[in-house]
Amino acid sequence: MDQPTSSQNVHPHGDQPTSGVPTRTQPTWNDSVSQMDAYAEKLRVQLPAAPPGLADGYVKFAPWVYIVLGALGILFSLGGLLFSAVLGPIFLLFGGVAGASLTGALILVLIVSLLSNVLELVGGYMMLQRKATGWWIIAVGMAITLLNSLFGRSFLVIIVVLLLAYIHLQVKPNYRET
């Protein structure tokens, strides 16, 4: 058995031998989305099918509900921000540090609520156009609401969100990528 000489084992950096194995690339956003689509489809297939009338009603009316509730939520959030900006100095004056803390927490909650309502409005509009992105925006909003309710121990909200998520998952094939 002949041993290769040291000059036969050395490859300059540019002359690396190729073995036909593809190089690994960084995962892209599309890879993550397609993986999430695969998980959602697998879960949808495993669950019992929703009644056709319920699924059709959800596809027709849910986007409008999300749009209307999102728009109303935006108005209430903006009104609350204006209200907290006016009452903030009064809370600080009479409450001191606790009043300032309350005002800061209130403003933070209202800003998060405003962002959530904007996403709900946009997701509802995109669902109305039967776009999968709108479906995903609403699905992520449901997941956030579910987590928030779990930590807040809001059992009725958990039940309602799980029922809506079940129907939402069942209608996923009605939405297309674009």
Residue 85: give the domain boundaries: 52-174
pLDDT number for residue 61 = 93
Pure H helices in 48-154: 52-95, 97-128, 132-152
Residue 19 lies in a domain: no
Residue 85 lies in a domain: yes
Q: In this structure, what are the phi and psi dihedrals at residue 131, rounded to the nearest 5 degrees?
A: -95, 140
Give pLDDT < 70 ranges for the chain.
1-33, 178
pTM (2 decimals)? 0.70
Strand partners, 21: none
Residue 7 lies in a domain: no
Q: Are 87 and 103 in contact (CB under 8 A)?
A: yes
Residue 77 lies in a domain: yes
Q: Are 170 and 57 in contact (CB under 8 A)?
A: no
pLDDT number for residue 32 = 60
Domains identified in the chain, total number: 1
Residue 20 lies in a domain: no
Residue 35 lies in a domain: no
Residue 97 lies in a domain: yes
Residues 8-18 have pLDDT tens digits of: 555 555 555 55
Residue 152 lies in a domain: yes
Nearest to 168 by CA among 77, 40, 26: 40
pLDDT number for residue 78 = 95
